[in-house]
Structure 1
Amino acid sequence: MKFRFIALFFLLTICVFSKEDNSSSKIKTYIEKHTKTETAATNIYNSIIEHSNKHDVEPELIAAIIKVESDFKQSTVSRVGATGLMQLMPKTAKLMNVNPNNINSNIKGGTKYIAWCLEQNKNNLTLALASYNAGIGNVKKYNGIPPFKETQNYVKKVMKEYNYLKA
């Protein structure tokens, strides 16, 4: 009986760690596919893992947000002034106390911000994504995803990438 318990525990441990390794490997491969150099991919991956662990946010979610926001291009600046991989607005970057032009700092700020959006929306992922895109005020004002085509499309795109990475 004791041997069976030990064997079962060992098998479960292997399954859990191999799933984490597969997930990490999938994220790393996904990032490499969308970046120009292995060094850039490694830096982005390491930053995602560090900050997702620190803020208790799934790394797949952070990778999906980055894909949709900037396609993994740090130099991206939106027409409204959002900057970097996670497209932080200057006010948000200041609020999160980060430099949006630095890869690690940008991911730190974006991860911290989506963690806050999740908290504000009681871990409702679609509402948190809508808040990340359109602002928490708009989500509260419309009591759900705002009727903005951009935000509705944004939520769908991030969820598609996120579900791909989670599969």
Structure 2
Amino acid sequence: MVYSRLKTGFLLILVFFSVTFVANTTPSWFKELVIESRSGHGLIVDEQIIDDLYESIIEISEKYDLDPLIIIALIKVESEFRNVVGMYGELGLVQIKPQTAQFVAQIYDLSEPEEGWITLLWNYELNIEYGVLYLKYLIQRTSGNLLKALELYNGGSMKTEYANRIFQQYKELMAYQITDSRR
């Protein structure tokens, strides 16, 4: 009986320390990237939002089998981690148009959000998910050619330069990740 209580107490302490010290797995390079990007535009940065954002990116990348660093690079280039409206009506972190989101919803048999597509501006999880699904569709459409898929994702007159900027950002993120893992 005493042994059982000691064992239970030990497990509770172990769970507490795991949740307290291990649960925050957001790497420092990601935090620094978001803080630098957002504060460059005079925006306030909340650590909890950074942690939630990172966790969302990881979950979505695993769900749809896409490298999270590509997603992070896409967000960095598209919006610098800001919920913004683009010149042509693109919304949120991944700058996806409502028409594109509707197309993605049809392809993947998803429902339109109750509040409408404007939700993509503020709901970063939904925004990232639709952007990732659209990129995944484009990757399949281009037979796995990520550069071509990124060009189509932007589709503008500067599409090649845009895709190259994302690849450059991706390389930098790989270096951050390697440096951070050595700490």
Could you state the TM-score of these two structures normalised by the residue count of structure 2? 0.65
Dislocated runs of 4+, deviation >2 Å: 24-35, 95-99
Once residues 32 and 143 of structure 2 are traced to their aligned partners in structure 1, the CA distance between those partners, rounded to angstroms, is 31
Q: What's the counterpart of residue 44 of structure 1?
A: 53
Once residues 70 and 172 of structure 2 are traced to their aligned partners in structure 1, the CA distance between those partners, rounded to angstroms, is 10
> Identity across aligned pairs (percent)?
32
> Residue deviations 1:6-45, cap 9 Å, x none?
xxxxxxxxxxxxxxxxxx6244543344342212211211
Q: Equivalences for 1:1-167 in 2 at 5 Å? A: 25=27, 26-35=29-38, 36-74=45-83, 76-97=84-105, 99-101=119-121, 102-134=123-155, 148=157, 150-167=158-175
Once residues 122 and 166 of structure 1 are traced to their aligned partners in structure 2, the CA distance between those partners, rounded to angstroms, is 24
The Cα RMSD (Å) is 1.8
Higher-Rg structure is 2
Once residues 129 and 150 of structure 2 are traced to their aligned partners in structure 1, the CA distance between those partners, rounded to angstroms, is 17
Once residues 32 and 121 of structure 1 are traced to their aligned partners in structure 2, the CA distance between those partners, rounded to angstroms, is 34
Gaps of 5+ in 1: 1-23, 135-145
Amino acid at match of 1:68: V
Once residues 85 and 69 of structure 1 are traced to their aligned partners in structure 2, the CA distance between those partners, rounded to angstroms, is 7
State the 1:72 CA deviation.
0.1
Do the aligned partners of 1:31 and 1:45 also contact (CA within 8 Å) in 2?
no
Once residues 77 and 151 of structure 1 are traced to their aligned partners in structure 2, the CA distance between those partners, rounded to angstroms, is 19
Gaps of 5+ in 2: 1-25, 39-44, 106-112, 114-118, 176-183
Once residues 29 and 57 of structure 1 are traced to their aligned partners in structure 2, the CA distance between those partners, rounded to angstroms, is 23
Once residues 93 and 31 of structure 1 are traced to their aligned partners in structure 2, the CA distance between those partners, rounded to angstroms, is 25
State the 1:159 CA deviation.
0.8
Q: What's the counterpart of residue 10 of structure 1?
A: none
Amino acid at match of 2:101: A
